Structure 1
Amino acid sequence: MLNVRSVGLSLSLHKGLPLGSGLGSSAAAAVAVNEIFGGHLSVSDLVLAGLESESKASGCHADNVTPAIMGGFVLIRSYDPLELIQLKFPPNLEEKDLLFVLVNPEFEAPTKKMLVALPMEIPMRDHVWNCSQAGPLVAAVLEGDFKGLGKALSSDRIVEPRRAPLIPGMEGVKKAAMEAGAFGCTISGAGPTLVAVTDDEEMGREIGDRMVEAFMEYGNLKASAMVKRLDRVGARLVSCIPG
């Protein structure tokens, strides 16, 4: 895409993310290569490059790479042609921001395996239910509604029920997150990482601790937790060190 034909390129990536975690990391590589050669690609081109990278491993899915590059929340309207709608999550009037509690167990869930678990046919009642949650999810993002966002993302009846049994202790961990005060909790990407939503960093750490304990109690898995603020900017060059 950069029309570079005379230079070979080898990258060593230190992502700080466990493999098969459902956290998505293809965006960083696309942004890095683009910056090395002058940063000529547009955001949409970077998304396409990230999709090409992801397709080699687990199929063409824009749900991770697109918001990672663009920041915030992105609605994927279509793939052919690629149509993206960026949804602006407004600052909270009480100066609170959206926080994600990411809890990753020491357990690998390859994306291809998690995709195979999905149903080939979806009952009409489940389809209708999930559609009825998609609208409120978008509305919650546009309105900056933490509780509405958490409620909508916790209400999936198509994907989560099929993948939950493949993540040891998942249901107990989700219950622990909700009891600890999370607005919502679900699987991050294909899993096995779980993500909970809150607006308070101290509470987020408490939610993370409870989820880690629950992974050991219900799934006999060690886990680690981190609390991350919503990134409204997306993948970008932080520094450049001459080699």
Structure 2
Amino acid sequence: MKMLSIRSVGLSLSLEKGLPLGSGLGSSAASAAAAAVAVNELFGRKLEVKDLVLAGLESEAKVSGYHADNIAPAIMGGFVLIRSYDPLELMSLQFPVEKDLIFVLVSPDFEAPTKKMRAALPAEIGMSHHVWNCSQAGALVASVLQGDLVGLGKALSSDKIVEPKRAPLIPGMEAVKKAALQAGAFGCTISGAGPTAVAVVDSEGRGVEVGERMVEAFWKEGNLKAVAMVRRLDRVGARLVGSVPR
């Protein structure tokens, strides 16, 4: 509201959340993105995309820290590289429109508090792991731009710093990753801080099959019930889908 220079109007928002809380899916950013876009639409769409991201960042800072990992792609759609925060520099990475990218999201009935999962990360990392992960980050960006699902999957699955520390804290996660790859996924890793596991495939049919195997692995190896969702890459981001005249 401050960015819109509106200071004397009361506003009430009602949100229907389609994501489980504390799942590693960026649900707080989804809420912030929806609110920012809705308010901007309500008052004449005066703010640019970058302004909406900045507004969402302020909201995220109150909940999960000042980072644009989730809010930027939630508003902009697709893949977004955050080059800098001071000043904020965002780079949209365009996945080829002629190719499909499907995500399989499997959320177990398990709490993985972000604070706890962040505390599990090492304070220092070795040079070899640093170089390796930087290489995977570069490969991930190149694969996105080229529409290379094999390369994207390999990069996604090859973390040597974060996943090895967090996976043991989520019952069955290692077996879930193995099950996803054996079922035909190009790659699989932990979504955000977890506990959701995310795999990438090239068709919704394959996604359903991979999701079933991942759910089974969570139950068999982790004794956890889980729910699978199959979702296509959203290239647009948060937007107005309808309005009710007053």
Partner of 2:146: 143
Partner of 2:73: 67
1:44 to 47, 50, 64: 50
- Alignment partners' CA distance in 2, 1:85 and 1:127: 23
1:178 to 153, 168, 181: 181
- 1:133 matched to 2:136? The reply is yes
2:7 to 5, 8, 18: 5
Alpha-carbon offset, residue 242 of structure 1: 3.5
Alpha-carbon offset, residue 89 of structure 1: 0.6
Match of 1:135, SS state, is helix
Match of 1:239, SS state, is coil
Aligned-pair identity in percent equals 77
Partner of 1:233: 236
How far does the alpha carbon of each residue in 1:141-188 deviate from its partner, in whole angstroms, 9 at most, with x for none?
110101110110111111111111221111110110000000000111
- Alignment partners' CA distance in 1, 2:37 and 2:119: 30
Alpha-carbon offset, residue 113 of structure 1: 2.3
TM-score (norm 2): 0.94
In structure 2, what residue type is equivalent to 1:155? S
In structure 1, what residue type is equivalent to 2:6? V
Aligned counterparts, 1:1-243, within 5 A? 1-24=3-26, 25=30, 26-92=32-98, 96-242=99-245
TM-score (norm 1): 0.95
Match of 1:39, SS state, is coil
Match of 2:158, SS state, is coil
- Alignment partners' CA distance in 1, 2:122 and 2:55: 29
- Alignment partners' CA distance in 2, 1:106 and 1:4: 42
In structure 1, what residue type is equivalent to 2:7? R
- Alignment partners' CA distance in 2, 1:41 and 1:135: 32
Alpha-carbon offset, residue 34 of structure 1: 1.7
* Structure 1 unaligned regions, length at least 5: none
Closer, same or farther: CA 180–69 of 1 in aligned 2, 3 Å: same
CA contact 1:64–1:189 (8 Å) conserved in 2: no
Match of 1:128, SS state, is helix
* Structure 2 unaligned regions, length at least 5: none
